[in-house]
Structure 1
């Protein structure tokens, strides 16, 4: 019996270490907490990844949901609060980033919805324009809080009042999870699905002549 206590102690220490390791996920030297609290609700880190532009790392992103989702439909219909957290990996013109986000919305949204949400999209563009530049390490967070709306926080500061339109957050989510996402590899990473789970991308070549490029696109050999 005298050996049991040390074994139990060692076992508990091992579990504690595993628990500590599980507290965050490292993505390109950016730490994402495994659990986040939004609107008094604990959310789970669904997936994280890196946004590439050509061979350059632009930012990391993390998606938080109340329950795990592996398809865009599951993520968009997930109940309760949601969060998208972004951390810059290089300096970028904030005005240009805002324009790219609006273009991403346009690529994944009907003309009717674009017209209905235009005022909110213009305001979102202004939020980024006012930032001038986002430096490496700067962050912004987009939260959906039921009963409140969509809240955009840049560098730890909430940017004005919440966007009240219920569909506004999902429209923004489609920038990364829509049919024409900003980055296909990032989409798969946010949905926490490997190559075996990811559907074939539109117009993607098949067969031995296609191979994944380092930045997550497709290159021909």
Structure 2
């Protein structure tokens, strides 16, 4: 009987833990699901945060992986599909965003990796340029599936061709997780590290 009670308590504890994990994460009024399905696999939200430009909120970002990762090295080495989900918090010119992303990749990726990513960098820039402007409320994902490549989805719809080079997605993630990240506080947030933002 005692063993049964202990087992029941453990089951209840694991269920409460599961329900806690299953709660939606809200960042700057943008909701990120705790888990998603991608290419037949379950991904979990590794972390989410806000990209600031001085004191202005530019966008939120959420990172999804098959397993939790607490360092950039663990994120880049994580197996299986991955997703970076960006949600705009202000209007921004498409060409400007393309330039910022290109610079972020160039500043953080090793030279050889960036060179192998050029095709993807150009495709991403074309996607942003064709859009002219991303508006407050727009969201885009970049989904990476091993063996297939990276797909860009704008407001839930695929846009542009699949970017086949695996180096592209790695270089893309370095924008936020590299040695010169776009926003140091956002880097910590994507890694699940909770810190107070300096004012």
TM-score when normalising by structure 1: 0.78
Greater per-residue helix proportion: 2
**Does the 8 Å CA contact 1:65/1:82 hold for their aligned counterparts?**
yes
Q: Is residue 48 of structure 2 the alignment partner of residue 48 of structure 1?
A: yes
Aligned positions, number: 185
Q: Which structure has the bigger radius of gyration?
A: 1
8 A contact 1:23–1:35 mirrored in 2:
no
Q: Which residue of 2 is the match for residue 104 of structure 1?
A: 104
| TM-superposed deviation, 1:77 | 0.4
Q: Distance in 2 between matches of 1:71 and 1:21?
A: 20
Whole-Å separation in 2 of the counterparts to 1:177 and 1:149: 20
Find out whether 1:23 has 2:14 as its counterpart. no
Please state how far the C-alpha of 1:20 moved relative to its aligned partner. Answer: 8.1
Which deviates further from its counterpart, 112-121 or 53-62? 112-121
**Structure 1 partner of 2:186:** 186
Q: Are positions 1:164 and 2:149 aligned together? A: no
Cα offsets for 1:164-183 (capped at 9, x unmatched)? 11221111000000111100
Consecutive unaligned residues in structure 2, runs of 5 or more: 1-11
CA distance in 1, matches of 2:163, 2:96: 21
8 Å CA contact 1:151–1:158 kept in 2: the answer is yes
Q: Verify: 1:213 aligned to 2:198, yes or no.
A: yes
Partners of 1:35 and 1:51 lie apart in 2 by 22
CA–CA separation in structure 1 for the residues paired with 2:189 and 2:102: 22
After TM superposition, list the pairs within 5 Å mapping 1:83-122 onto structure 2: 83-122=83-122
CA displacement at 1:212 relative to structure 2:
5.6
Query: Which has the larger displacement, 171-180 or 107-116?
Result: 107-116
Question: Once the 2 structures are TM-superposed, how far is the Cα of residue 102 of structure 1 from its aligned partner?
Answer: 0.2
TM-score (norm 2): 0.87
Corresponding position of 1:139: 139
**Contact 2:51 2:58 (C-alpha < 8 Å) held by counterparts:** yes
